[in-house]
Amino acid sequence: MGRRWLWIGLFVSLALNVFIVGGLVGAGLAGVKLRPPPPEQRTRGGMGMAIHDLPPAQQAAWRSGNRAFMEANGPRTREARQLSSEAIRRFGDEPFARDAILGDLKQARTLEYETRLAMDQRVVDFAAALPPEQRVQVARALVRPGLGRRGPGRRGPGGHMPDR
């Protein structure tokens, strides 16, 4: 190997290192996190975030029903996911079973809807047992961007949660 190839290799290695280091520094300056957040932050959303500021007794009251809710609704959620996955996997089948696939997807959405309705009932029942100021606190957390039904960056009418 001649000197010319050593210089070319050295230049390529140097350029690659500068590119990698520059990318890491740029990501750090842009605020990109290279590590996933801790598990407690990853899983907290929806009602988990909404009850975060409630007194410990109310937090415990909400959490005490989680196991029973999952036992009652978990199988339905799993069935919906399985139906959806199986229906989508059949897209490549010949002949294409359009009506059967649509039927399975409709059944999956119905199961998802029933589970969501059960969760809505649970949230409303929980809120009904709270004092008014804590109900408002939960409502504000549920309409916070990124949580609840409104999704990221969207709020209720007027762009804010009305005061009572």
Cβ-proximal residues to 112 (8 Å cutoff; 6+ apart), any chain: 77, 80
Q: Does residue 17 sit in the same domain as residue 98?
A: no
Rounded to an integer, what distance in angstroms lies between the CA atom of residue 161 and that of residue 154? Answer: 11
Residue 155 has pLDDT above 80, yes or no: no
Asked if residue 160 is part of any domain, the answer here is: no
Q: Does residue 27 sit in the same domain as residue 47?
A: no
Q: Does residue 59 sit in the same domain as residue 2?
A: no
In which band, very low, low, confident or very high, does the pLDDT at 159 lie, cut at 50, 70 and 90?
A: very low
Q: Does residue 66 sit in the same domain as residue 114?
A: yes
Q: Does residue 54 sit in the same domain as residue 110?
A: yes
Cα torsion angle, 18, 23, 24, 26, sign: positive
With a pLDDT cut of 70, the percent of the chain lying above it is 79
Looking at residues 73-80, what average pLDDT do you find?
93
pLDDT in tens, 36-56: 656 544 445 678 888 888 999
Number of structural domains found in the chain: 2
In which band, very low, low, confident or very high, does the pLDDT at 15 lie, cut at 50, 70 and 90?
A: confident
Domain with 100 in it: what CATH number?
Answer: 1.20.120
Q: Does residue 3 sit in the same domain as residue 58?
A: no
Q: Does residue 123 sit in the same domain as residue 102?
A: yes
Residue 71 has pLDDT above 80, yes or no: yes
The reported pLDDT for the residue numbered 33 is 67
Class of residue 79 by CB neighbours under 10 A (exposed 0-12, middle 13-18, buried 19+): middle
Asked if residue 156 is part of any domain, the answer here is: no
Q: Does residue 9 sit in the same domain as residue 60?
A: no
Q: Does residue 83 sit in the same domain as residue 52?
A: yes
* C-beta neighbour count of 82 within 10 angstroms: 13
The reported pLDDT for the residue numbered 76 is 93
Mean of per-residue pLDDT scores for the chain: 81
Q: Does residue 72 sit in the same domain as residue 94?
A: yes
pLDDT in tens, 97-106: 999 999 999 9
Asked if residue 164 is part of any domain, the answer here is: no
- Can you give the residue range of the structural domain that contains 4? 1-31
Q: Does residue 100 sit in the same domain as residue 25?
A: no
The reported pLDDT for the residue numbered 147 is 46
